[in-house]
Structure 1
Amino acid sequence: MDPDTPDSATNILVLLADNLFGQVPLLIGLITLLGLVLQGKPVEDVVGGALRAAVGVVILFIGVEVFTGGLEGFQAVLADAVGAAPPAADRSLGDFLDSHGGTIALVLALAFLVHVSLVRLFTAARYLYLTGHLMFWISTVVVAALVTAAPGADRLTVVLCGAGGVAAYWTAQPLWMRPLMRRVMPDDRFGFAHTSSLVCLLTGWAGRALGRLGARSTERLVLPSRLSFFKDVNVSTALVVSVLILGAVAAADPGTVAERVAETDPGLSPWVWALLVGLRFAGGIAILLFGVRMFLAEIVPAFKGLTDRLIPGTRPALDAPTVFPAAPTAVMLGFIAATAVFLLLLGLFSAAGWFTLIPPMIMLFFVGGSAAVFGNAVAGWPGAVLGGALTGIALAAGQALTWGLLAGTAPELATLADPDWYAIAWLIAGARTLLGGAAIWAVPITALGTTVAVLLALGRRERRTSGERAPAAKGEQN
Structure 2
Amino acid sequence: MELLQDILTGIANNIFNQVPILIGLIALAGLLLQRKPVEAVVGGTIRAVVGVVILMLGVEIFVGGLVAFQAIVASAVGLEPPAATSTLNDFLGGQGSAVPLIIAVGFAIHVLLVRIFPAARYVYLTGHLMFWMSIVIAASLVEVLTDIPRTTLIIVGAVIIACYWTLQPLWIAPLMKRLMGHDQFGLGHTTSTVALLAGYGSRALRLGDAQRHDSEKLKLPRSISFFKDINVSTALIIAVIMLVAIAFADSAVVQEQMGDSQLLPWAWGLTQALRFAAGIAILLFGVRMFLAEIVPAFKGISDKVLPGTRPALDIPVVFPKAPTAVMIGFLSSTVVFLVLMGVFAAAGWFVLVPPMIMLFFGGGSGGVFGNAVAGWRGAVFGGLVNGVLLAFGQWIGWGLYDSTAPEIATLADPDWYAVGWLVLGATQLLEPLGAAAVWVVAGAVLVATVAILMVLSRRRTTPDETSAAPVTSGAPASAGSSAPAAAGTSAGPTTGGAPTARSTENRPADTARRRQATGETS
TM-score (norm 1): 0.95
Instruction: Point out the more displaced range, 452-461 or 94-103.
Output: 94-103
Q: Deviation per CA, 1:317-368: give whole Å up to 9, x if none.
A: 0000000000001111111000000001011111111100000000000011
1:239-254 aligned at under 5 Å gives the runs: 239-254=236-251
Residue matched to 1:461: 459
Q: What SS class does the counterpart of residue 391 from structure 1 fall into?
A: helix
Residue matched to 1:301: 296
Give the AA of the match of 1:31: I
Deviation, 1:101, is 4.4
1:238-317 aligned at under 5 Å gives the runs: 238-261=235-258, 263-265=259-261, 267-317=262-312
Instruction: Point out the more displaced range, 424-433 or 362-371.
Output: 424-433
Residue matched to 1:368: 363
1:391-410 aligned at under 5 Å gives the runs: 391-410=386-405
Deviation, 1:178, is 0.3
Please state if 1:105 is matched with 2:100: yes
On the 8 A contact 1:211/1:378 being kept in 2, the answer is no
On the 8 A contact 1:210/1:379 being kept in 2, the answer is no
Give the AA of the match of 1:197: S
Instruction: Point out the more displaced range, 394-403 or 459-468.
Output: 459-468
Please state if 1:430 is matched with 2:428: no
Residue matched to 1:230: 227
Please state if 1:63 is matched with 2:61: no
Bigger radius of gyration among the two: 2
Residue matched to 1:3: none
Residue matched to 1:194: 189
On the 8 A contact 1:60/1:287 being kept in 2, the answer is yes
Deviation, 1:443, is 2.5
Which residue among 15, 21, 26 is the counterpart of 2:10?
Answer: 15
Q: What SS class does the counterpart of residue 189 from structure 2 fall into?
A: coil
Which residue among 410, 424, 440 is the counterpart of 1:442?
Answer: 440
Deviation, 1:66, is 0.5
In 1, Cα distance between equivalents of 2:27 and 2:501: 40
Would you say how many aligned residue pairs link Structure 1 and Structure 2?
Answer: 471
On the 8 A contact 1:193/1:317 being kept in 2, the answer is yes
On the 8 A contact 2:91/2:404 being kept in 1, the answer is yes
Give the AA of the match of 1:448: L
Instruction: Point out the more displaced range, 431-440 or 86-95.
Output: 431-440
1:67-216 aligned at under 5 Å gives the runs: 67-211=62-206, 213-214=208-209, 215-216=212-213
In 2, Cα distance between equivalents of 1:161 and 1:147: 11
Q: What SS class does the counterpart of residue 311 from structure 2 fall into?
A: strand
Deviation, 1:255, is 1.9
Residue matched to 2:332: 337
On the 8 A contact 2:65/2:276 being kept in 1, the answer is yes
In 2, Cα distance between equivalents of 1:475 and 1:307: 22
Give the AA of the match of 1:423: A
Residue matched to 2:450: 452
Deviation, 1:472, is 5.6
Instruction: Point out the more displaced range, 28-37 or 433-442.
Output: 433-442
Deviation, 1:429, is 2.0
Deviation, 1:476, is 11
Bigger fraction of residues in helix: 1
Give the AA of the match of 1:456: M
Please state if 1:47 is matched with 2:45: no
Give the AA of the match of 2:456: L
Q: What SS class does the counterpart of residue 368 from structure 1 fall into?
A: helix
Deviation, 1:32, is 0.5
Please state if 1:220 is matched with 2:245: no
Where in structure 1 are there 5+ consecutive unaligned residues? 1-5
In 2, Cα distance between equivalents of 1:133 and 1:156: 23
Deviation, 1:434, is 1.9
Residue matched to 1:24: 19
CA RMSD of aligned residues (A): 1.8
Distance change in 2, residues 1:285/1:443 (3 Å) = same
On the 8 A contact 2:144/2:427 being kept in 1, the answer is yes
In 2, Cα distance between equivalents of 1:338 and 1:181: 21
Distance change in 2, residues 1:228/1:108 (3 Å) = same
On the 8 A contact 1:60/1:288 being kept in 2, the answer is yes
On the 8 A contact 1:120/1:312 being kept in 2, the answer is yes
Q: What SS class does the counterpart of residue 4 from structure 2 fall into?
A: coil
In 2, Cα distance between equivalents of 1:473 and 1:42: 33
Give the AA of the match of 1:24: V
Give the AA of the match of 1:227: I
Instruction: Point out the more displaced range, 100-109 or 225-234.
Output: 100-109
Deviation, 1:470, is 2.5
Kindly report structure 1 stretches of 4+ aligned residues shifted beyond 3 Å: 209-213, 463-469, 471-478
In 2, Cα distance between equivalents of 1:288 and 1:389: 24
In 2, Cα distance between equivalents of 1:471 and 1:138: 41
Where in structure 2 are there 5+ consecutive unaligned residues? 467-492, 503-509, 511-522
On the 8 A contact 1:345/1:396 being kept in 2, the answer is yes
In 1, Cα distance between equivalents of 2:292 and 2:370: 25
Deviation, 1:212, is 5.8
Deviation, 1:102, is 3.2
Distance change in 2, residues 1:169/1:469 (3 Å) = farther
Distance change in 2, residues 1:343/1:462 (3 Å) = same
In 1, Cα distance between equivalents of 2:345 and 2:173: 38
On the 8 A contact 1:211/1:383 being kept in 2, the answer is no
Q: What SS class does the counterpart of residue 311 from structure 1 fall into?
A: coil
Which residue among 29, 33, 51 is the counterpart of 2:28?
Answer: 33
In 2, Cα distance between equivalents of 1:472 and 1:463: 7
Give the AA of the match of 1:27: L
Percent identity of equivalent pairs:
57
Deviation, 1:55, is 0.7
TM-score (norm 2): 0.87
Distance change in 2, residues 1:330/1:153 (3 Å) = same
Deviation, 1:205, is 1.4
